[in-house]
Amino acid sequence: MRFDELLAYQRSFDLAMEIFVMTKTFPKEERYSLTDQIRRSSRSVSGNIAEAYAKRKYPKHFISKLTDSDGENLETQNWLKYFFECAYIPQVLFDDLTAKSEEVGRLLYYMIKNPAKFGSKEGFN
């Protein structure tokens, strides 16, 4: 299996791309603040999953990178709240993107709790 076949990777990549397209229409004054922040955090989710997969033989490293990914995912949720509160996105879009991000979080949690299912060694030696 390749890293890009992992469901968590696919869902997080799709979410990052959806956010990228959505932010193309945002005000120019947000280009270097909110827009840049959410693009970077959302892209980091899948990037950290790819790095975790490369380190899957070492449980502590695998889990550490997945934890980083989860942190970036929560940061993305934070920026979504700002977008909603600043009236850049409607409630329905906020709810949809947040639900997708929460799904990614559940997938990451599963991976963190079950590293052996992803090629990681059983024990923490």
Q: Quick one: which of 20, 10, 5, 2 has its CA closest to 46?
A: 10
Q: What is the pLDDT of residue 98?
A: 98
Q: What is the pLDDT of residue 124?
A: 45
Q: What is the pLDDT of residue 70?
A: 98
pTM for the whole structure = 0.92
Q: What is the pLDDT of residue 125?
A: 42
Q: Quick one: which of 75, 69, 38 has its CA closest to 51?
A: 69
Q: What is the pLDDT of residue 123?
A: 47
Contact indicator for 115, 63 with CB cutoff of 8 Å: yes
- Domains in the chain: ranges and CATH: 3-23+32-118 (1.20.1440.60)
Distances (CA, A) of 89 to 5, 33, 79, 92: 31, 16, 11, 8
Contact indicator for 19, 40 with CB cutoff of 8 Å: no
Q: Which two tokens stand for residue 97?
A: 């993107």
Per-run averaged pLDDT (10 residues), the chain, 125 residues: 94 98 90 91 98 94 97 98 96 98 98 91 52
